[in-house]
Amino acid sequence: MAERLVVIGGDAAGMSGATNARRGRPDLEIVVLEKGPDTSYSACGIPYVVGGSVDSLDDLVVRTPQQLRDQFRLDVRTRHEVVGIDLDARRLEVRALDQQRTLHLGFDLLHIATGARPVRPDLPGIDGPDIYGVQSLEDARALLAGVDGRRIRDVVVVGAGYIGIEMGEAFVERGARVTMVDGAPQPMRTLDLDMGAHVAEAIRRFGIDLRCGSSVEGFSPGKVHTADGDLAADLVILGIGVAPASALALDAGVAAGARGAIGVDHRQRTSKAGVYAAGDCADVVHLVSRRRIHVALGTVANKTGRVAGTNLGGGYETFPGVLGTAVTRVCAVEIARTGLNEAECREAGIEFHVGTVEGTTRAGYLDDAETLHAKVLIERRTHRLLGGQIVGADRAGKRIDTLATAITAGMDASQLIDLDLAYAPPVSPIWDAFQLAARDALRVARAEPR
């Protein structure tokens, strides 16, 4: 009988695992169990459907279950939720949701790609009507059904992170009045406060009523109760972040890693033989701090899923780690970050100097040159690059990749400054913003008494 690989979860990490395992082992029986109706979709695209720049949620599907069956001979079973893992018996307990029955399925190899769940704080009224998370296509369908045909005037977004801001923008574009509430002093907690302030400015300029340092205390129909009074809300969007959906694996005895995620090694192997995990449910190593952390990002899910799949398919592949590189384009600005921010450096015990610059996206003499703010953190004494952030107009965001590459290579500030980067007036000023920020950081570092 053929060996059987069961994959739990049919999105990025699950499907890149399954398809890469198939490449290595044509002989393997591969079953993919997905509790929702969809496979391989871009959850990151949901705000653009809500905002109207993408027509349909179907456009976000990269590969349908049927395509995956046909192209990769995967036994894809949607609406099948795994409710228990018996590692000794090497058997799963599976709930077939449409048939409303429970079945059991044996496995030789297991790939856990259960993703992350949106955080839903335990507040009064949180389970009331018109309160939506936006983690899956199902969430998005529910949201779109909930707004369909209604006139939505007031939207409250709880949480001013990536998804919160993207959804806030989407509802402004639909003509709603949007209020955004976040407990932190500035939006976008993965940035430092000084860079968050530039984001706050962009959010407000876009017409969103941003209320930082304010906490939500509960919900009632048509209202959000905050520490600073009630807000009218025809609709509430929760954008508070996500937590790894690791309970199933941990309950089965798989060892936990960082922040409640499933612990994996550099080949995506868990503590249990033949059991792999990848994507938002697993932890990863941070390339600068060398600590294991948890991030929930589509890029990382794709990459770690691919590594797991190659190893499951009998190949050899390792995942070197992440920098937490992320970008968004929202409220007419681009926002990006990579590596460690100030708080993360402090937590890791790494001392640093900061360099900042206010630059332009193009040569300053061009009419369409726009402002950008860049920041670089370098290690004290070694001047090694630790991280950086950028907030600016069109074309600012992807510049973070240059810094991410330099950090991965272990470069110091001088090496960044020496890089032969591309210049042409309509594309960039003669010195890249991160090169200028690195110069500023070196100036600060050299002013320090030895």
Active site residues: 44
Task: Output the CA angle 158-191-440, nearest 5 degrees.
Answer: 155
Closer Cβ to a second copy, 156 or 196, answer by number:
196
Q: How far is the CB of 177 from a second copy (least distance, A)?
A: 23
Closer Cβ to a second copy, 34 or 169, answer by number:
169
Per-residue contact string for residues 37-76; x = within reach of a second copy by CB under 8 A: -----x-xx--x----xx----xx----------------
Helices (H), 174-264: 193-205, 247-251
| Site size toward a second copy, by CB under 8 A | 63
Which positions from 162 through 221 interact with a second copy, judged by CB under 8 A?
A: 162
In 3D space, the residue among 214, 165, 228 whose CA is nearest the CA of residue 191 turns out to be 165
Which token pair is 309?
């799949």
| Nearest-angstrom CA–CA distance, 430 and 6 | 53
| Nearest-angstrom CA–CA distance, 42 and 301 | 11
Q: How far is the CB of 140 from a second copy (least distance, A)?
A: 14
Contacts of 321 (CB under 8 A, 6+ apart): 284, 285, 286, 287
Closer Cβ to a second copy, 123 or 419, answer by number:
419
Closer Cβ to a second copy, 94 or 413, answer by number:
413
β-pair type (4-8, 29-34)? parallel
Helix, strand, coil percentages (3-state) for the chain, rounded to 5, are 30, 30, 40
In 3D space, the residue among 423, 342, 434 whose CA is nearest the CA of residue 379 turns out to be 342
Render the burial of 60-70: b for 16+ CB within 10 Å, e for the rest: bbebbbeebbe
Closer Cβ to a second copy, 25 or 286, answer by number:
286
Closer Cβ to a second copy, 4 or 267, answer by number:
267
Which positions from 218 through 247 interact with a second copy, judged by CB under 8 A?
A: none
Contacts of 378 (CB under 8 A, 6+ apart): 352, 353, 355, 384, 385, 386, 412, 413, 438, 441, 442, 445
| Nearest-angstrom CA–CA distance, 311 and 109 | 11
| Nearest-angstrom CA–CA distance, 344 and 70 | 45
Instruction: Report the number of secondary-structure helices (H) and strands (E) in the chain.
Output: 12, 25
What count of other Cβ atoms lies within 10 Å of the Cβ of residue 93? 14
Q: How far is the CB of 90 from a second copy (least distance, A)?
A: 32
Q: Is 430 in the site for a second copy (CB under 8 A)?
A: yes
Which positions from 298 through 357 interact with a second copy, judged by CB under 8 A?
A: 298-300, 302-303, 319-329, 334, 336, 338
Find how far residue 359's CA is from the centre of its chain. Answer: 27
Q: How far is the CB of 262 from a second copy (least distance, A)?
A: 20
Q: How far is the CB of 24 from a second copy (least distance, A)?
A: 13
Q: How far is the CB of 225 from a second copy (least distance, A)?
A: 32
What is the spatial order of strands in the sheet that 352-360 belongs to?
Answer: 326-330, 333-339, 385-392, 371-379, 352-360
Q: How far is the CB of 302 from a second copy (least distance, A)?
A: 6
Interacting residue with a second copy among 432, 436, 441, 442 (CB under 8 A):
432
Interacting residue with a second copy among 26, 101, 145, 365 (CB under 8 A):
365
Closer Cβ to a second copy, 250 or 400, answer by number:
400
Closer Cβ to a second copy, 167 or 297, answer by number:
297
Segment lying near a second copy (by CB under 8 A), choices 20-28, 99-107, 142-150, 390-398:
390-398
Which positions from 400 through 429 interact with a second copy, judged by CB under 8 A?
A: 400-402, 404-406, 408-411, 415, 418-428
Helix (H, G, I), strand (E, B) or coil at 22: helix
Q: How far is the CB of 422 from a second copy (least distance, A)?
A: 4
Sites of contact with a second copy (CB under 8 A)? 42, 44-45, 48, 53-54, 59-60, 162, 287, 297-300, 302-303, 319-329, 334, 336, 338, 363, 365-367, 395, 397-402, 404-406, 408-411, 415, 418-428, 430-432
